[in-house]
Amino acid sequence: MELPQLLDATFQQTFQSKPLLICSPGRVNLIGEHTDYNQGFVLPAAIDKAIYLAVGPRQDDELHFVAHDLDKSFKGSLQSLSRTKTWADYLLGVLAQFQQAGHQLSGLNCIFAGTIPMGAGLSSSAALENAVGFALNELFALGLDRLDLVRLSQRAENDFVGVKVGIMDMFASMMGKADHVIKLDCRSLDYQYAPLRMDGFRVVLCDSRVKHSLASSEYNTRRAECEKGVQLLKPYYPEIDSLRDVTMAMLDEHLKDTEPLIYRRCAYVVQENQRLLDGYADLQAGDLEAFGQRMFGSHEGLSKWYEVSCPELDTLVDIAREQPGVLGARMMGGGFGGCTINLVREESLDNFTQVITQQYKARTGKETQIHVCRLMDGTHTI
């Protein structure tokens, strides 16, 4: 039985009513890493690894949630939405944001499960939050648009769960379009779609199966280094507000010799924004070969200039670079572990999988997990 049908049957058996079924996808980011908090561009897409939600309203204020994959349940009330520091917070946080925005809700029955691999950096939390918000909007006919729902999901994670994420994960999951990537301007939230025609190609994720403890502390350090670069340049260029407004000429003149570390960090971000804009043009022209080369360039910048890679991620990219049929590869996400994202020709897929699996084990002593993805539509009813 397919997962949506299983949840449908389980919901009817548990709650004696027919649910609304929602599919909310995870996301990948093709290029544009660590550019979001610098008010730059990102190029994400929704993928066919998703959270599925079976949900229905109650006649009272009670909340009954079942995490099917975890075999765990939660019972609470709309009258007392407070943090539990468990998986339930991703649902409770969205409900709390809807209440704060003045929307009238009733209690809720909800069962959910997913096909998003845990810990791979594919934004299962954003997918779940989007699914809940989308469901509330449908069930209670609230008339919110998708961008409203994205902002509510982000606030739920920022203010209730307590993780200060940017908007990209929720945006990609909600706004995705099959066989397209989204060029998102993180400053204005303007967005455009570009085709990523996957006839004969696949997006392949290779999970390093590591998460180094550096990730969160170094993330904060990088943000501070970027902000310092802007502060150092502002006396010369009062009009700049973020690295989005900075050019390589500015960096070369004022930071290259005096602040070599800050220079490298800022230079990576400025170059990555340009790589993304050039890559977007490649996709519009249907030139996947050129786009793949920009992915390799992105990894080089992340590894050598921004220094957020790790030996395992570098190894995965090095192996991919040597394989026939691989157009591009790079680390994806905050860094220090997680996945690489690869563009691979379909006929080379079996060989790629075999070689990556064997060589990664030989070089690092670790296993990898491979996930082959298609680009799909954003959060929707089934």
Q: Would the annotation count 225 as a binding residue? A: no
Q: Would the annotation count 120 as a binding residue? A: yes
Q: Would the annotation count 227 as a binding residue? A: no
Q: Would the annotation count 157 as a binding residue? A: yes
Q: Would the annotation count 37 as a binding residue? A: no
Neighbours of 185 (CB within 10 A): 14
Closest CA to 137 of 62, 81, 53, 16: 53
Find the angle CA(88)-CA(92)-CA(93) to the nearest 5 degrees: 115
Q: Would the annotation count 353 as a binding residue? A: no
Q: Would the annotation count 208 as a binding residue? A: no
Q: Would the annotation count 119 as a binding residue? A: yes
Report how far residue 38's alpha carbon sits from residue 58's, in angstroms, rounded to the nearest whole number.
43
Q: Would the annotation count 166 as a binding residue? A: no
Residue 169 annotated to the active site:
yes
Find the angle CA(130)-CA(85)-CA(4) to the nearest 5 degrees: 35
Q: Would the annotation count 122 as a binding residue? A: yes
Options 169, 207, 282, 314, the catalytic residue: 169
| CB-based contacts of 183, cutoff 8 Å, min separation 6 | 41, 42, 43, 191, 192, 193, 194, 276, 280
Q: Would the annotation count 108 as a binding residue? A: no
Q: Would the annotation count 64 as a binding residue? A: no
Written as one string, the DSSP assignment of 117-177 is PTTSSS-HHHHHHHHHHHHHHHHTT----HHHHHHHHHHIIIIII-----SHHHHHHHH--
Report how far residue 296's alpha carbon sits from residue 372's, in angstroms, rounded to the nearest whole number.
19
Binding-site members for Mg(2+) are 125, 157
As annotated, the binding site for substrate includes 33-36, 219
| Binding region for ATP | 119-125
Can you say which residues are annotated as belonging to the binding site?
A: 33-36, 119-125, 157, 219
Catalytic annotation, residues: 169
